[in-house]
Amino acid sequence: MSTTNQALADWVKQVAELTQPDQIYWCDGSEAEDQKFNQMLLDDGSYKQLNSETHPNCYLHLSDSQDVARVEHLTFICTQKEVDAGPNNHWMDPAAAHDKIDALFAGCMKGRTMYVIPYCMGPIDSPIARCGVEITDSAYVVQNMRLMTRMGQAALSRIEQEGGFVKGLHSTGELDPNRRFIMHFPEELSIKSFGSGYGGNALLGKKCHALRIASYQAKTEGWLAEHMLILGIKTPAGKQHYVAAAFPSACGKTNLAMLIPPEGYLKDGWEISTVGDDICWMRPGEDGRLWAINPEAGFFGVAPGTAKETNPNALAMLYQDTIFTNVAETADGQPWWEGLDDRTPQTDWQGRPYDPANGPAAHPNSRFTVSAKRCPSYSAESESATGVPIDAIIFGGRRASLVPLVTEARSWDHGVLMGATVASETTAAATGAVGVVRRDPMAMKPFCGYHFGDYWGHWVGMKNQANKLPKVFTVNWFRKDEKGQFMWPGFGENMRVLEWIIGRCDNQLGANETAIGLLPSSQDINTKDLGMDLSVLDELLKVDKSAWKDEVTSVEGFLRNYGSRVPGELFRELKEIDDQLS
């Protein structure tokens, strides 16, 4: 295979000269190719075949023990001007960054094959979709990209018609954490990643392209590239709604995207469908609404906690055609992780005999990779070229205290402030301490390819581009009581909050005005068959004024860190809250 796109052909040649692979292989995306790669990965020990009776065509990949998550301290945004990357990013001068990482790439593919992966983020025929090409020396990356994107011949044809594409160069190198960098060049629409084989560091279509590079393009071109799930909700009256929700990594997007409503809702005729679970690209349409696509074609989901009780839709996909990374294994070769069931695994995520003294059997950030088509709730609209119109945007995080179960913004600007100041406890999705509360604006702290001040300005400015913008909400499923127990049952029961959100969009349900926004009273939430003490729900819907006063002070300090690029609207909204609290 070769290409009529001269820029692509030249780039491939130039990369081969730098990295010196034994062979160059162009991925066509065919079924035969898929099988060939699986066999290759089995043969070289990168894959272990799981039980073919219970899990046909499923594979276990155990990574290097030091290569299990995103590495934010090694991730750089390399813009000409440092100020454009913003205090939210690590910055390196582009020329210095190229020199540094090219020195690592020099000769790194000797004895290896260089794979060229043309891919499309979004439905192949969608004007909202964008293409890229990833060059990698990892067949595991190829197999993940095959599931996560539309890759191969069709993507290459689109690239040949369109011309432009995002360039992503990747090598696993020696998996040495001291020789690892994830570099982004938004002004050049290119990415260079060295030394890691893990998801967000190595599947360059995902966070690197579809968020860091795309957020920069979106700002320039007037659209939004966001860390959001997209969920369809059909009411018993047959009205179809779509919501997009941004929660930080490992804070519940996949779970909400695949929610199965409580029995009573199903009886009444509510229907939930899944459009996407991690990334959302939105554009103002001619009708003044925001239209969204899921740029991905698969799910790279957190395994631990996935169970019949919590996320039956996810579990149902995982019995076939799935790659499992860093999970444990039972004696009969089935994948296993904490929370799945009460079996005891035989080997842990490092392939050792399981011993609880060594910690969890599955790594807390162990993942499954699976085609979205295997999801029972996958929406046919996911393939729509125009996307789906968004009625509500939801922001959330893990906050053990303070933040109520649900709050509606008074206005678009207030909603942007809510999104910009969301805080959440850190998780195992990135290396570093877990459980530390940090601000994670729009769940984009690790993923915004430019200065947060400019990003919030872009969000505020959307109101001049679209006159039927979604209503904005925040949610918090993660409040804890004095004993450290979750106060809200979460998962399928989150439907009760979605019902209120949809009711607000349709002007059918009530809300109380408070200093921090519009909140339901406990009677506004459908608690039929919930079996929960209503005083707990009251507690989840209370606004603690003195604690919120402290929050306002903290938020003000946080916004000030971003200097003069922060839009004045955010300070105005914050002052409004402060005034109302007094």
Q: Where do contacts with ligand GTP occur on this chain (CB under 6 A)?
A: 247, 249-255, 277-278, 301-302, 304-305, 310, 429, 477-478, 486, 490-491, 494
Q: Which is nearer to ligand SPV, 211 or 472 (CB)?
A: 211
Q: Which is nearer to Mn ion, 67 or 278 (CB)?
A: 278
Q: Which is nearer to ligand GTP, 185 or 368 (CB)?
A: 368
The residue number whose beta carbon is nearest to Mn ion equals 278
Distance CA 323, CA 49 (A): 10
Among 27, 78, 208, 251, which one carries the catalytic annotation? 251
What interhelical angle do 568-581 and 545-560 show, nearest 10? 160
Is 232 marked as a binding-site residue?
no
Is 55 marked as a binding-site residue?
no
Q: Which is nearer to ligand SPV, 198 or 291 (CB)?
A: 198
Tell whether residue 146 is a contact of ligand SPV (CB under 6 A): no
Q: Which is nearer to ligand GTP, 249 or 426 (CB)?
A: 249
**What secondary structure letter does DSSP report for 455?**
H
CB atoms within 10 A of CB 342: 4
Provide, rounded to whole angstroms, the least separation between the CB of residue 157 and ligand GTP.
Answer: 30
Contacts of 374 by beta carbon, 8 Å cutoff, 6+ apart: 316, 317, 320, 321, 322
Provide, rounded to whole angstroms, the least separation between the CB of residue 206 and ligand SPV.
Answer: 5
Q: Beta strand 229-234 with 271-276: parallel, antiparallel or unpaired? A: antiparallel
Tell whether residue 278 is a contact of ligand SPV (CB under 6 A): yes
Q: Which is nearer to ligand GTP, 159 or 429 (CB)?
A: 429
Distance CA 288, CA 359 (A): 51
Distance of CA 90 to the CA centre of its chain: 20
Distances 264 to 202, 234, 260, 377 between C-alpha atoms, Å: 43, 15, 11, 18
Is 252 marked as a binding-site residue?
yes
Question: What is the DSSP code string of 188-249?
Answer: GTEEEEES--SHHHH-TIIIIIIIIIHHHHHHHHT-EEES-EEEEEE-TT--EEEEEEE--T
Give the per-residue contact string, 416-435, with ligand SPV (x = CB under 6 A; - = no): -------------x------
SS3 571: helix
Give the per-residue contact string, 13-52, with ligand SPV (x = CB under 6 A; - = no): ----------------------------------------
Question: What is the DSSP code string of 399-448?
Answer: -SSSS-SEEE-SSHHHHHHHHHT-EEE--TTBSS-SS-EEE-GGG-TTT-
Q: Do residues 417 and 574 lie in contact, with contact meaning Cβ atoms separated by under 8 Å?
A: yes
Tell whether residue 300 is a contact of ligand SPV (CB under 6 A): yes
Is 193 marked as a binding-site residue?
no
Q: Which partner from the list ligand GTP, ligand SPV, Mn ion, none does 310 bind, CB cut-off 5 to 8 Å by kind?
A: ligand GTP
Is 492 marked as a binding-site residue?
yes
Q: Do residues 479 and 540 lie in contact, with contact meaning Cβ atoms separated by under 8 Å?
A: yes
Is 7 marked as a binding-site residue?
no
Q: Which is nearer to ligand GTP, 12 or 182 (CB)?
A: 182
Long-range contacts of 44-49 (CB under 8 A, 24+ apart): 44/139, 46/139, 46/140, 47/140, 48/329, 49/333
Provide, rounded to whole angstroms, the least separation between the CB of residue 475 and Mn ion.
Answer: 17
Q: How many residues bind ligand SPV (CB under 6 A)?
A: 9
Distance of CA 334 to the CA centre of its chain: 27
Q: Which is nearer to ligand GTP, 169 or 229 (CB)?
A: 229
Q: Do residues 115 and 36 lie in contact, with contact meaning Cβ atoms separated by under 8 Å?
A: no
Tell whether residue 440 is a contact of ligand SPV (CB under 6 A): no
Active site annotation includes 251: yes
Tell whether residue 445 is a contact of ligand SPV (CB under 6 A): no
Query: Which H or E run contains 304?
Result: none
Instruction: List residues near Mn ion by CB under 5 A.
Output: 249, 278
SS3 103: helix
Is 130 marked as a binding-site residue?
no
Take residue 237 and report the two structure tokens written for it. 């009256």
**What secondary structure letter does DSSP report for 566?**
S
CB atoms within 10 A of CB 96: 10
The residue number whose beta carbon is nearest to ligand SPV equals 200
Is 70 marked as a binding-site residue?
yes
Distance CA 387, CA 384 (A): 5
Provide, rounded to whole angstroms, the least separation between the CB of residue 227 and Mn ion.
Answer: 6
Provide, rounded to whole angstroms, the least separation between the CB of residue 430 and ligand SPV.
Answer: 7
Distances 529 to 263, 265, 479 between C-alpha atoms, Å: 9, 10, 21
Give the per-residue contact string, 179-208, with ligand SPV (x = CB under 6 A; - = no): --------------------xx-----xx-
Distance CA 170, CA 490 (A): 38
Tell whether residue 249 is a contact of ligand SPV (CB under 6 A): yes
Give the per-residue contact string, 201-240, with ligand SPV (x = CB under 6 A; - = no): -----xx---------------------------------
Tell whether residue 441 is a contact of ligand SPV (CB under 6 A): no
Q: Which is nearer to ligand SPV, 145 or 409 (CB)?
A: 145
Q: Do residues 78 and 449 lie in contact, with contact meaning Cβ atoms separated by under 8 Å?
A: no
Provide, rounded to whole angstroms, the least separation between the CB of residue 451 and ligand SPV.
Answer: 21
Tell whether residue 70 is a contact of ligand SPV (CB under 6 A): yes
Distances 56 to 52, 325, 522, 570 between C-alpha atoms, Å: 4, 16, 47, 52
Q: Which partner from the list Mn ion, ligand GTP, ligand SPV, none does 491 bind, CB cut-off 5 to 8 Å by kind?
A: ligand GTP
Q: Which partner from the list Mn ion, ligand GTP, ligand SPV, none does 247 bind, CB cut-off 5 to 8 Å by kind?
A: ligand GTP
Provide, rounded to whole angstroms, the least separation between the CB of residue 229 and ligand GTP.
Answer: 7
Which residues line the annotated binding site for substrate? 70, 198-200, 249, 365-367
Residue ranges for the known binding site for GTP are 250-255, 367, 398, 491-494
Binding-site positions read: 70, 198-200, 207, 227, 249-255, 278, 365-367, 398, 491-494
Contacting residues toward ligand SPV, per CB under 6 A = 70, 199-200, 206-207, 249, 278, 300, 429
List the catalytic residues.
251
The binding site for Mn(2+) comprises 207, 227, 278
